[in-house]
Structure 1
Amino acid sequence: MVTAVLMRIVSCWRPSVEGENSSRVGDANGRVDGLLWYKDSGKHVNGEFSMAVIQANNLLEDHSQLESGPLSSFESGPHGTFVGIYDGHGGPEAAKFINEHLFGYMKTINGAEFTTENHGMSADVINKAFLATEEDFLTHVKKLWLSKPLIASAGSCCLVGIICGGLLYIANAGDSRVVLGRLEKDFKEVKAVQLSSEHNANVESVREELRSLHPNDPQVVVLKHQVWRVKGIIQISRSIGDAYLKKAEFNKEPLLPKFRVPESFDKPILQAEPEILVRKLHPEDQFLIFASDGLWEHLSNQEAVNMVNTCPRNETCQSCTSRSSKEERNEILRLGKD
């Protein structure tokens, strides 16, 4: 499954205007072509955007959103743009919950902690919004545990970008990725700059982090069929949800055996806390590509940036996701022949 949002940036920071509010995958303004949903072009406070998703099957586990306007419940709070990519797994429940709650939590927390010194936004506000979403989703899982135990295996990667007051905030928990297209004036080329790192057990530094957090568990990461997995089950080390790897009370029946680890644990195996980057935006910063791992498995950072830079503006996300989907289908065909 591939989910992508493209944000073009203008360097003129201005308040929102009427008609600039929100867009989400699947809303009435989008277009559908088979398992492809896309929105060609829209306006946000700091420029333009397009978004698209290609489903791997008929069950949509991913969600994404773009909110443009007030970023705080405080009356005179800041305006800006919020984008979220929620790559669900084990079911759609976690990604859907994030889509419905994370932005609201952020606005409420930001309203309570608003200061003019931080332009009305801070890494601390974003971190608290992630953790509040995690806490409430785990509470939701507990309520449904006996009637719907599989919800304990539902989780989602969560990649968020916020533009506010000339600053860009990137918060990531999982293996989605954001890439900046930056104009190199001396070479008259748009270069790719990766702004997030993947929390995937196939990355050596992630395995080292897991081992340092769980020094008494030699099986916290396991090489299984040439792929490193946390507890031999899942590749990502950070997520919202995945209650069965967060609280031992869900690591038992009636959850299916394939999701249960053999030993109990006293602290979460996966983390929900995001890795956060804050950087100033510059006139050379042309656009941002937010996408789930399904896109980056088939396109390099520079290939994606080149496509955005050369495609007509109203076809950008559609073109990127369509290409990655086509290459994925071709790869499946080659594997089938072998």
Structure 2
Amino acid sequence: MLSRMFTECDGQLNVSFGYQCLGPRWKETNNAKEISTLEKDIKKQSNKSTFSCLSGAALSANVTLANTNICNGLIGTGLLPGLDSPKTFQRVPSSPSLSSADILSTSLQSNVSNLSNCSSPQSDDIEWDTTALRSMSAPSKTDGFLNAMEVQMAGGAAGEDRVQAVCSEENGWLFCAIYDGFNGRDAADFLAGSLYENIRINLNTLQNGEKEDGFRQSVLSCLQQALEQAENDFLYSVELAMDGRPDLVSIGSCVLVVLLYGQDLYTLSLGDSRAILATSEGITNGLMAVQLNDSHSIDNEVERSRFLSDHPNEPGTIIGGKVKGRLKLTRAFGVGYLKKKKLNDALMGILRVPKLVSPPYVSTQPSLCVHKVSEGDHFGIIASDGLFDFFSNEEAVNLVQYFILNSPSGNPAEFLVQQLVSKAAKNAGLTLEELMRVPAGRRREYHDDVTVIVILLGSNHRTATASTNQ
């Protein structure tokens, strides 16, 4: 079931997306009674998916420092609409018109030209380019599990955050990703235009006949290889374009990818976005919040110790609580000037990092995890760090649980964002209306860009709650 919600506050348009997984027997309907009946009967259906519902919401705080659609053209127009918020899910049939190799090679060629030529802002009335979407998601017919005859997609932007979700009811898998860009949107745009396709190509080389543990490790290896390929391609493009745009060497992004396939929930992360699991497994009352990935920041003592051990006896590696005085993150995509001397040399004056003794100072080694979903696992929260500036893992889980109990057919991700804005306004001594009138850019004084996805796990958690409260 596709859903779309628009809210307008003093001229600012926010869009959230939602998706109800109804299994292989689902059919589109515009009849409210039919939809209600379908919702009640979800738990009776044979559903291949491990999740029953996906919801997402996002809010902008930052002015975009660069407006380069890094994969402009074939991929970029489909994945990066001008409307600065996530779009609703859209059913996308596969097309054999282009091979994956054609897509990647074309996008990489366009990267170089578009990095050098920053395009003007796009109009807010631009809609999805469905031709580009079909090309991007055109899987070849093989035995790989990410190949499907039909997928459903959502994607969009909030300030420097980028978000993607791709689902196949047919094959029972879900891919979600949040790219939290910094110092500009170029790195996050690049990830939105290439990482999913890299992952799909790598995963579809796997053989399903492997033993269970071996197969899981192979999936994790494929995720890491896809990230490495994207990083190499991005930094290569930056090197080619840095004469015209030296600022590109300082632009980077956090990466959080979640892949749900069967009972296995895989995560890959760089930076400080978080994947939180809400589970009742092993406890008697309520839900426990389990963070599935590490926080790659100087503020994390474990990560700080690892970073210092990688640069022994070198003074000035941490200055003012930041890596070389520039970045709190210890692992991130892009940010080439903290990884390669020649990229640092492209910067002028005080922008250049002095005494680059033992680069790289920012790692691209991701945190990887696989979790087998159990009956006690209720939902997952995937969010950029803007959410956790205001709520702990436990508070976020409690808010989602409260919302689901009281509004079983609503959007818990949007509720989290609403609660964040209310708390930000209160902390600043403003009313909600006053905060919402603050333009993007100045809003960064009160809250960061925030993107949230909530995945309801299992087929019965939400519907059982809904029937209880009717």
Instruction: Pick closer, same or farther for the CA change 1:186–1:245 going to 2, 3 Å.
Output: closer
CA positional deviation for 1:278: 1.2
Of 298-307 and 233-242, deviating more is 298-307
In the TM superposition, what whole-angstrom CA distance separates every residue of 1:216-246 from its partner, at most 9, and x where no partner exists?
Answer: 4222112x2xxx1111111001111101111
CA positional deviation for 1:329: 3.4
Cα distance in 2, alignment partners of residues 236 and 174 from structure 1: 6
CA positional deviation for 1:109: 1.2
1:37-52 matches, within 5 Å, as 37-43=15-21, 45=49, 46-52=51-57
Corresponding residue of 1:320: 416
Q: Match of 1:38, as an amino acid?
A: S
Q: 279, 285, 288: which one pairs with 2:371?
A: 279
Residues 260 and 266 of structure 2 are in contact (CA less than 8 Å); yes or no, is this contact kept in structure 1? yes
Larger radius of gyration: 2
CA positional deviation for 1:30: 6.0
CA positional deviation for 1:263: 1.5
In the TM superposition, what whole-angstrom CA distance separates every residue of 1:36-73 from its partner, at most 9, and x where no partner exists?
Answer: 432244449432111111111343211011111299xx
1:245-324 matches, within 5 Å, as 245-253=338-346, 255-265=347-357, 267-311=359-403, 312=407, 313-324=409-420
Q: 188, 192, 203: which one pairs with 1:110?
A: 203
Corresponding residue of 2:168: 69
CA positional deviation for 1:32: 5.3
CA positional deviation for 1:209: 0.7
Residues 82 and 161 of structure 1 are in contact (CA less than 8 Å); yes or no, is this contact kept in structure 2? yes
Residues 200 and 237 of structure 1 are in contact (CA less than 8 Å); yes or no, is this contact kept in structure 2? yes
Instruction: Pick closer, same or farther for the CA change 1:42–1:218 going to 2, 3 Å.
Output: farther
Cα distance in 1, alignment partners of residues 362 and 223 from structure 2: 19
Q: Unmatched 5+ residue regions in structure 1?
A: 1-18, 21-27, 72-77
Alignment partner of 1:233 is 2:326? yes
Residues 91 and 155 of structure 1 are in contact (CA less than 8 Å); yes or no, is this contact kept in structure 2? yes
Residues 248 and 266 of structure 1 are in contact (CA less than 8 Å); yes or no, is this contact kept in structure 2? no
Q: Match of 2:267, as an amino acid?
A: I
Cα distance in 1, alignment partners of residues 208 and 357 from structure 2: 40
Residues 207 and 221 of structure 1 are in contact (CA less than 8 Å); yes or no, is this contact kept in structure 2? no
Corresponding residue of 1:211: 308
Q: Match of 1:61, as an amino acid?
A: E
Cα distance in 1, alignment partners of residues 282 and 314 from structure 2: 50
| TM-score calculated relative to the size of structure 1 | 0.81
Corresponding residue of 1:178: 275
In the TM superposition, what whole-angstrom CA distance separates every residue of 1:87-141 from its partner, at most 9, and x where no partner exists?
Answer: 1101001111111111100111112243432169611111111111111111121
Residues 155 and 242 of structure 1 are in contact (CA less than 8 Å); yes or no, is this contact kept in structure 2? yes
* Root-mean-square deviation (Å): 2.7
Q: Match of 2:268, as an amino acid?
A: A
Residues 269 and 367 of structure 2 are in contact (CA less than 8 Å); yes or no, is this contact kept in structure 1? yes
Residues 174 and 198 of structure 1 are in contact (CA less than 8 Å); yes or no, is this contact kept in structure 2? yes
Alignment partner of 1:137 is 2:234? yes
Q: Match of 1:31, as an amino acid?
A: F
Cα distance in 1, alignment partners of residues 21 and 332 from structure 2: 30
Instruction: Pick closer, same or farther for the CA change 1:121–1:38 going to 2, 3 Å.
Output: farther
Cα distance in 1, alignment partners of residues 424 and 418 from structure 2: 10
Matched position secondary structure for 1:314: coil
Matched position secondary structure for 1:157: strand
Corresponding residue of 1:151: 248
CA positional deviation for 1:166: 1.2
Higher relative strand content: 1
Q: Match of 2:388, as an amino acid?
A: W
Q: 332, 337, 342: which one pairs with 1:244?
A: 337
Matched position secondary structure for 1:122: helix
Instruction: Pick closer, same or farther for the CA change 1:160–1:58 going to 2, 3 Å.
Output: same
Matched residue count:
300
| TM-score calculated relative to the size of structure 2 | 0.59
Q: Match of 2:221, as an amino acid?
A: D
Matched position secondary structure for 1:290: strand
Matched position secondary structure for 2:331: coil
Instruction: Pick closer, same or farther for the CA change 1:205–1:318 going to 2, 3 Å.
Output: same
Q: Match of 1:165, as an amino acid?
A: G
Instruction: Pick closer, same or farther for the CA change 1:165–1:43 going to 2, 3 Å.
Output: closer
Corresponding residue of 1:4: none
Cα distance in 1, alignment partners of residues 283 and 301 from structure 2: 35
CA positional deviation for 1:264: 3.0
Cα distance in 2, alignment partners of residues 194 and 327 from structure 1: 23
Residues 178 and 291 of structure 1 are in contact (CA less than 8 Å); yes or no, is this contact kept in structure 2? yes
Identity %: 29
CA positional deviation for 1:327: 2.0
Corresponding residue of 1:31: 6
Alignment partner of 1:329 is 2:425? yes
Cα distance in 1, alignment partners of residues 327 and 7 from structure 2: 31
Alignment partner of 1:122 is 2:219? yes
Instruction: Pick closer, same or farther for the CA change 1:65–1:315 going to 2, 3 Å.
Output: same
CA positional deviation for 1:147: 1.1
